[in-house]
Structure formats: C-alpha cells, structure tokens
Amino acid sequence: MTAPYSELIDAISGVTLGEHPSALPCTTCGAYLFDAAEPTGYAYKFTDESEWRIARLYCHDCSRRTVAHPTLGAQEAQFEAVIDSEHAIRTLEEIRILDYNDPF
C-alpha cells in the first residue's frame, strides 16, 4: 500500500512526537512506547486543512489496523511505524499504511 500514499507517508514521517527521552503513552492502555517501539496509529486531515495530524498511537497489545468509524469530511489512515530516537526530537519512520478512508 505504499506507492499511492507517498504524500501521506511523507507527512506523517515529519510530524514531531515529542522530545527524546520522554516516553509516549499508548492511547488505549497508557503503556509507554519507548524508542524503537513499533506502534500502530491513527492520522487524519480535514478537507479544508493542509496538514495531517496524528491523533492516536497504540502499543502492540492495543494495536488498531482499520479505520473503525470513518468521519465525513476527513481523510483518515491507520498506519504502523517505528519510533525514531536518533535525534533530539522523536518522529515516526518506516511508515506503512494499513487502512485509508477518503471522505468522498
């Protein structure tokens, strides 16, 4: 699923998640997602906005692989990634789109 979503993947890869070494919590259970963790996540972008937003990150046990409740007026994606900690600011790398919802 990578090729058609290259713009989305580039946008998600550039989003700042927080400063290293703080841990990121799983949206569902609160377990910490440390460096090199492989979470799944949910991102969205409303049709009148230019930037994608990462709304949720899930640990391995709480993983979500599909857009469960599509929203009218928003592009939505479920993805998996690796948390990059090589720099002072955390980002996501190795993005793979698992599911996508187009509002139209």
- For residue range 32-68, list pLDDT tens digits in order: 988 889 999 999 999 888 888 999 999 999 999 999 8
Q: Is the per-residue pLDDT at 21 higher than 70?
A: no
Residues 53 and 17 sit within 8 Å (Cβ to Cβ): no
User: What pTM, to 2 d.p., does this model score?
Assistant: 0.86
CB-based contact 82:93 (threshold 8 Å): yes
Tokens at 104, concatenated: 């139209």
Which pLDDT band, with edges at 50, 70 and 90, does 1 fall under?
A: very low
User: Which of helix, strand or coil describes residue 9?
Assistant: helix
Q: Using alpha carbons, select from 93, 84, 81, 86 the residue that is nearest to residue 57.
A: 81
3-class DSSP state for residue 89? Answer: strand
Could you state, in order of their start, the residue ranges of all structural domains in the chain?
Answer: 3-101
